[in-house]
Homo-oligomer: A and B are copies of this chain.
Amino acid sequence: MNVNSGGKRVRRTPEEAKSLILSIASDRLSALGLEGLNISGVAKDAGMSHATVIHHFGSTGAMRKALLEKMTHDLLSDVMVALNHHEEPARVLDHLFEMLSHGGHGRLLAWLALDQQAFSPASESKGLFTDILNKIAEDSGDPVHAKQIIFLVAIAAMGKSICGDAIAGLIGINETEARQFPEWLAEHIQRI
């Protein structure tokens, strides 16, 4: 849990410090949920005082925003790579679902969306997102349906990351059926 248990004072470069902090924050997001994404807790787990965290990010909101930016960028660039490598749709979907569900990507996105701060126009990742959209639309050939399909996939991915397990449990979907879902969806999307 605690990173720095020794008594010595550690001095990092600002980049190292920010990177460490965001890494710990990401871990806490996965382990504790959104409540774990506060300055005091993150600082404690990172083995530093909370004043240090504030020194680097300025405020709690800014830290969260930085984490969102990093996670979004990682996610989108990963999807972009998969698209450029001409992977089959099923693989891309699987990858997308996996990345959103794992580690709290989708959760953080949802949480910020619920706070009406997400997808701010100034977001650096917006360009990447539109790039992906263009790529998909270009590959599919049907721009009208493409929009609806992308919308469907996007909201489904978000919903699955947030409460996919709970809903699957309610419906009574077993392990293998759950694993097959991305493939199933990709197949039926291609038929449209």
The size of the chain A interface, using a CB distance under 8 A, is: 47
| Inter-chain contact B35/A181, CB cutoff 8 Å | no
List the number of copies, as a whole number: 2
Question: Does A54 sit at the interface, judged by CB under 8 A?
Answer: no
Q: Mark contacts of A163-192 with chain B using CB atoms, 8 A cut-off: 1 yes-contact digit, 0 otherwise.
A: 110111111110001000100110010011
The SS class assigned to the A binding surface is helix
Q: Mark contacts of A147-165 with chain B using CB atoms, 8 A cut-off: 1 yes-contact digit, 0 otherwise.
A: 1101110111111101110
CA distance A150 to B111 in the complex (A): 24
Question: Does A129 sit at the interface, judged by CB under 8 A?
Answer: yes
Chain B residue numbers with a CB within 8 Å of A156 are 152, 155-156, 159
